[in-house]
Amino acid sequence: MQKIINRDWIHPRFHFKDTSVGIPRDRLFLMIDYWKEKFLIHKVHPGYTVGIALSVMDELYVSALFASFEYGLKIVVLLKPPNDEYSEKPRYKAWFPLDVCILDTVSNIGEYYHNYYLKRSKIVIHRETEYQLPRRISKKNKSIILNPKDVCFLCTSSGTTNDPKLISHTHEFLDRKSTRLNSSHTDIS
């Protein structure tokens, strides 16, 4: 059976532990829906590229990642250039401009990186410190149909030749990789 990367990947006993607060699976699902509603509000379309420029891999990051997969976006691996000189190298600007950037606050990500991603993105969705989770998801968000062959993940080669190769991965490819990793994993619980 071919799979699409979505919330069904999240184990039923999942419980995200972030600082002192545990996030149960059903709350994470509401957070995924929150991001998908944000995409609708900002007129994001399936197939757009998205960069997730959040400073911490917390419940907002994980839910944004899964929402992007479910919405049919192409997630771009963002590289953080150490300075302005590096930002002009091919490897750092290969996927710019982004169609969408989920951007952290200046206080979390720093002014340099906040401005860096802001200037290189067509649509910016800012991280909110206070957010309201949706009670239900709109019909338009439920109607997005994905194909295992849809590209969902974008990255670059190392760029050692100074001309990085642009690499795209499909849902099917990531599912196969995950299945192979899981089959070699021994559960010690």
Q: Does the reported pTM lie above 0.85?
A: yes
Strands 121-126 and 98-103: what pairing?
parallel
Residue 43 to residue 48: CA distance in whole angstroms: 11
Spell out the residues 6+ positions from residue 11 whose beta carbon is closer than 8 angstroms to its own.
Answer: 25
Strands 166-170 and 151-156: what pairing?
antiparallel
Q: Quick one: average pLDDT of 142-165?
A: 84
Q: Position of tokens 């906040």?
A: 114
pLDDT at 188: 45
> Which range in 17-21, 42-46, 93-97 is most confidently predicted, on average pLDDT?
42-46
74 has a pLDDT exceeding 70 = yes
Q: Quick one: average pLDDT of 37-58?
A: 93
Q: Quick one: average pLDDT of 122-145?
A: 77
Q: What is the pLDDT of residues 80-89, one digit of tens each?
A: 888 888 888 8
Residue 12 to residue 26: CA distance in whole angstroms: 9
Q: Position of tokens 């600082």?
A: 19
140 has a pLDDT exceeding 70 = no
132 with 30: CB under 8 angstroms? Answer: no
